[in-house]
Structures are given as C-alpha cells and as structure tokens.
Amino acid sequence: MNIRTLLLTSALACSGFAGLAQANDTNAATQPVPYQYGMPLQVNKVVSMTEPQTQQCKVITADMKYIDNAGKPEEITYRKMSDACNFQN
C-alpha cells in the first residue's frame, strides 16, 4: 500500500512540474516585433509562418516565429501581398 501511495504522489508531482514548465514557456513569449527594411535577423530555424486567409489581392500582415542563433524563440511581423495575388492574371 505504501508503494502505491508513493508512486501516485510521484506521478502527480511530475505532472505538476511539467505544467509549470509549459506555463513558463508561454509567459516567456514576447510581442512580435514589426520588421523594418534592413533589420538584421539572426534566424537559425523557422518554427511557423502564418497569415490571414483572404480572397482579395491586397497587402496583409504575416507572422513568423523562429529560433535565433542563440537558441531564443523570437517572433516578427511583416507586410506582404496575399497569396490570392498569385492566382490573378
């Protein structure tokens, strides 16, 4: 009976620490920085690129999340033409 209690307590403690680690990761996220022409980017790995879906050919604001050369997650926003422009003549 004591081993069962010890295992259950250990499992709950580990899940609690995992929850705290995930909570710290989301709090560390900063606001995306708007890109300006000539801004140096130290991109080591791109994590995701997102943009709003639109049926119109227009300028939109897209987001890019990446890992910089120091291993720190960063996020940047930039302006671009929507993908709908690729399909228009």
What is the number of structural domains in the chain?
Answer: 2
pLDDT more than 70, % of the chain:
78
C-alpha–C-alpha distance, residues 18 and 16, integer Å: 5
Same domain, 51 and 76: yes
Same domain, 49 and 71: yes
- Evaluated on CA atoms 76, 42, 24, 51, the torsion sign reads positive
Query: Which domain range does residue 79 map to?
Result: 32-89
Mean pLDDT computed over 45-73? 93
Please, which pLDDT band fits residue 15 given cuts at 50, 70 and 90? confident
